[in-house]
Amino acid sequence: MLDKPNILFVFPDQLGARWMSCYGNRHVSTPALNRFASQSVQFDRAYTNTPLCTPYRGCLFTGQYPSQTGVTENGMRLPRNQQTLADLLNKAGYETHYVGKWHLSGDPQTNRWVPPEERGGFQYFTGWESHHVDHSAGLIWRDDPDHPIELGGHETDGLTDIVCNELDALTTANSPFFMVVAYQAPHPPCTPPASEYEQYDGSVLDEPPNTQPEAWFRNTAWGADYGVEEFRKRYFGEISQLDAAFGRILDKLQKTGLDENTIVIFTSDHGEMCGSHGLFGKGVMYEEAVRVPLLIRMPTPGSVDRVERPVSTVDLFSTILDFAGADGEGTEEGRSLIPDIKGAEVPASDVFIEQKEDCVIRGDIKLVTERDRNDILRCCDLAQDPFELTDIGRQVEQETKEELLRSLNQWRARTRN
């Protein structure tokens, strides 16, 4: 067995924790993920540091906030001189593999080839930039821009075939691997196979309580024009299909024996509003958009089953390097989650989220402000009001608000110079 663990990092696109069975949603069918969660450490309050596709990826692969990387909007390019997670793992003796949606090589944001110099240091790359509108006609590239590979059937299944083939090939590798699997599902437009879609033939609108039943999803470029119930059935169908695909990957790990020395991390870049508060998509600071799943399965079980303190994307960079015994060289903003997994007492820390607004989360209190300003937009107690139905800003002590704003301003000063 290799001295260092393999690390498999799987992240679907736009999958919020709110919409997963292991996080309490009783409508969505995800047996493989439920089983995986029972074998993993589940982080109950994991947050993206930015609820948008490209900035998240920049944050994930650098361990820095979007304002630090300069990757703050979709379609922006990761700076070529930016040291990445793959660069550091390459130095530590890992084979680094990327499979799936990239979304870090700039415009055009289309289903196209990603040049080697734009691949963030990954040694082996099978992917596309963005975006498969027709999920049955997706293309993916390796090193020949003129000869893409057709993803067979629905793109989720075609991508899973590629991943399983790569895992087969890695069973005889002499070096540990770090593999990222980036699904586009369940990002809209949602076109799941009929078998998954038809699971949801009943009503899916009785929860959560912040649902607005009259909400309507319309995107002419995607040919989408339907209400919240139809949106959820399609979205949930994509999640169930993704669940089956992830189950195939887990089965492959077991059949090849790779599971005995592979850490598996399952998370997402951000969530999906799904008609909550009458909204669809992301880019806002509501829990549906910013709270993501985070499940980490170790070859040897951790000391705890669940972690309740708030953690965030910037912590993943440090955590993966810690698993690999690699040096972050002092560039990262986050801190390793391994002490949490081992059950150590970890000091609380604030979580910061940025996009069109700024947000700070301390314990159960969530404060949202105007971007770069201290004008408070809303304040919620997530323990008492997990669906953010009531703004308690006037009830929160002035001292608490001042402390949160002070923390937010210190973070702004550090990251936005």
Average pLDDT over residues 38-51: 98
Amino acid at 282: K
Asked if the model's pLDDT at residue 1 lies above 60, the reply is: no
Cβ(102)–Cβ(182) below 8 Å: yes
pLDDT grade for 394, boundaries at 50, 70 and 90? confident
Secondary structure element (H or E) that encloses residue 92, with its range: none
What pLDDT is stored for residue 332 in this prediction? 86
The CA distance from 213 to 190, in Å, is: 19
Nearest to 179 by CA among 256, 67, 66, 68: 256
The dihedral of CA 56, 57, 63, 65: what is its sign? negative
Amino acid at 70: G
Tens digits of residue pLDDT in 237-285: 999 999 999 999 999 999 999 999 999 999 999 999 999 999 999 999 9
Secondary structure element (H or E) that encloses residue 128, with its range: strand 124-128
DSSP 117: G
The CA distance from 137 to 117, in Å, is: 26
Tokens standing for residue 336: 């390793």
Tokens standing for residue 198: 């038809």
Q: Alpha carbon of 221 to those of 133, 188, 405: distances in Å?
A: 9, 11, 40
Strands 224-227 and 41-43: unpaired
Rounded to the nearest angstrom, the gap between the alpha carbon of residue 131 and the centroid of all alpha carbons in its chain is 17
| Segment 399-402 long-range contacts (CB within 8 Å, at least 24 positions apart) | 400/365, 401/367, 401/376
The CA distance from 246 to 226, in Å, is: 28
Cβ(55)–Cβ(66) below 8 Å: yes
SS3 265: strand
What pLDDT is stored for residue 147 in this prediction? 95
Strands 95-101 and 262-267: unpaired
Q: Alpha carbon of 205 to those of 29, 224, 233, 397: distances in Å?
A: 15, 19, 10, 36
Asked if the model's pLDDT at residue 216 lies above 70, the reply is: yes
The dihedral of CA 245, 247, 250, 252: what is its sign? negative
The CA distance from 149 to 151, in Å, is: 6
Residue recorded with tokens 């293309």: 139
The CA distance from 417 to 415, in Å, is: 6
pLDDT grade for 330, boundaries at 50, 70 and 90? confident
Question: How many residues are there in the chain?
Answer: 417
What pLDDT is stored for residue 301 in this prediction? 80
Q: What are phi and psi of 377, to 5 degrees?
A: -90, -40
Q: Hey, where are the domains in the chain?
A: 6-344, 356-415
The CA distance from 176 to 89, in Å, is: 10
Cβ(69)–Cβ(78) below 8 Å: yes
State in Å, rounded, how far the first CA of the chain is from the last one: 46
pTM here is 0.97
User: What percentage of the chain carries pLDDT values higher than 90?
Assistant: 88
Cβ(328)–Cβ(317) below 8 Å: yes
Tokens standing for residue 243: 């669940």
Tens digits of residue pLDDT in 65-80: 999 999 999 999 999 8
Asked if the model's pLDDT at residue 302 lies above 80, the reply is: no
The CA distance from 78 to 206, in Å, is: 41
Residue recorded with tokens 């979205």: 235
Tokens standing for residue 229: 């119930």
Q: Count H helices and E strands in the chain, helices first.
A: 11, 19
DSSP 207: -
Asked if the model's pLDDT at residue 2 lies above 80, the reply is: no
Cβ(242)–Cβ(12) below 8 Å: yes
Q: 75, exposed or middle or buried, with CB in 10 Å at 0-12, 13-18, 19+?
A: middle
The CA distance from 42 to 341, in Å, is: 9
Looking at the structure, give the CATH architecture of the domain made up of residues 6-344.
3-Layer(aba) Sandwich (3.40)
Question: How high is the mean pLDDT of the chain?
Answer: 95
